[in-house]
Amino acid sequence: MNRRIIGAIVRKDLRVVRRSRALMTPLIVLPVLLMIVFPTVFTFLPRIVGGARAAFAEMFRNLPDPVKQQFGEFTEATWIRVVHTQMLAPLMLLVPFMVANVIAADGFAGERERKTLEPLLYTPATDAELFFAKLLAAWIPAVMIAFGGALIYAVLVNVTAWPVMHRVFFPDLTWTVMVLWMSPAFAALGLAGMLLVSLRVRGMQEATQLGGLFVLPVIALVVGEVRGAILLGPFMAVLIGLLVWGIAAALLAFGVRRFRRTTLVGKL
């Protein structure tokens, strides 16, 4: 593999994404919403909205026993821990998934739609180099945004919760595993899904609509976590991460066999 060729394609793709308002808007809004706005609002909610504390206490009472046992009696500190380590944590996985999904859609279907794929096919980049470059162009920013956002999230939570917690309580081990192990896996899943869809459709709009369906595992995880069906501890996080890595790897292996110039040129 020629790293210079791969690097050139990755840099070109990222530059193109950076300059697209239509792409950058979701890439900024979603992380800001999930990693800054949500944690801040949920930390302060019991103090700023009358009745919120009682509502959260009720919600806490309805959680499955194993979850309640893990957190003890309901206090404001309990609420903060439940929100950040249990309820909001899986939502964070949407960020690497969506970022990878959106960039991959632009890199595959978008490039075809803009008719800029053909000159790439005429370069000496091998099919594998093209494929790998397109993957990296989507995966690297997704993971970087996930890691950067997670760092901001952690700092923000500790700062905003300081008056209640009086210590650095976040992140815990589960959350750390989610960030370092699961979020790269979900980024891989997002781009693998988009790759498969993009090989079949012609336009960006079609690709984003179909590719978005691959978000369902994340939604399932969030719902399962909130309803107590899944109790996400470090071990479970490692297992789910492994499963997602496995699915993503299988989809990518399937995709790489179909990612051939001779196939792509037929869709130009």
Partner 1 sequence: MPAILLDHVLHRYGDTVALRDLSLTVEEGEVFSLLGHNGAGKTTTVRIVNGLLAPAAGSVLVFGRSPLTEGAVVRRRTAVLTESPTLDDRLTARETLRAFAAMYDVPRAEARSRTDALLAEFGIAERADDRVGGLSRGMKQRLSLARALVHDPDLLFLDEPTAGLDPVATQQLHETVRQLARTRGRTVVLCTHNLVEAQALSDRVAVLGGGALLALGTPAELARRITPRLEVMIEIDPTRHADAVALIAALDGLTVSSDRIGVLRVGGIPRERVPDIAARLVTGGIGLYRLEPHEPSLTDAYFALQDGGKGAP
Binding site for partner 1 (CB under 8 A): 2, 4-5, 7-9, 11-12, 15-16, 19-20, 114-116, 118-126, 261-262, 265-266
d(CA 171, CA 155): 9
> Of the two residues 114 and 227, which places its CB atom closer to partner 1 in the complex?
114
From the CB of 23, what's the least distance to partner 1, in Å?
Answer: 10
> Of the two residues 62 and 123, which places its CB atom closer to partner 1 in the complex?
123
DSSP-assigned states of every residue in 180-223: IIIHHHHHHHHHHHHHHHHTT-SSHHHHHHHHGGGGHHHHHHHH
From the CB of 120, what's the least distance to partner 1, in Å?
Answer: 8
> Of the two residues 22 and 223, which places its CB atom closer to partner 1 in the complex?
22
DSSP conformational letter for 114? T
Closest to 177 measured CA to CA, from 244, 253, 103: 244
Record the tokens describing residue 212, joined without a space. Answer: 């978005």
End-to-end Cα separation, the chain, in angstroms: 25
> Of the two residues 130 and 218, which places its CB atom closer to partner 1 in the complex?
130
Q: Please say whether the beta carbons of 237 and 174 come within 8 A.
A: yes
Question: Which residue has tokens 């997704």?
Answer: 142
For helices 38-48 and 52-61, give the axis angle rounded to 10 degrees: 110
d(CA 231, CA 58): 19
* Segments in 111-170 forming alpha helices (H): 111-113, 117-121, 127-165
Contacts of 73 (CB under 8 A, 6+ apart): none
From the CB of 55, what's the least distance to partner 1, in Å?
Answer: 47
From the CB of 118, what's the least distance to partner 1, in Å?
Answer: 5
d(CA 236, CA 167): 27
> Of the two residues 50 and 122, which places its CB atom closer to partner 1 in the complex?
122
> Of the two residues 12 and 68, which places its CB atom closer to partner 1 in the complex?
12
> Of the two residues 5 and 249, which places its CB atom closer to partner 1 in the complex?
5
From the CB of 119, what's the least distance to partner 1, in Å?
Answer: 5
From the CB of 19, what's the least distance to partner 1, in Å?
Answer: 4
From the CB of 195, what's the least distance to partner 1, in Å?
Answer: 20
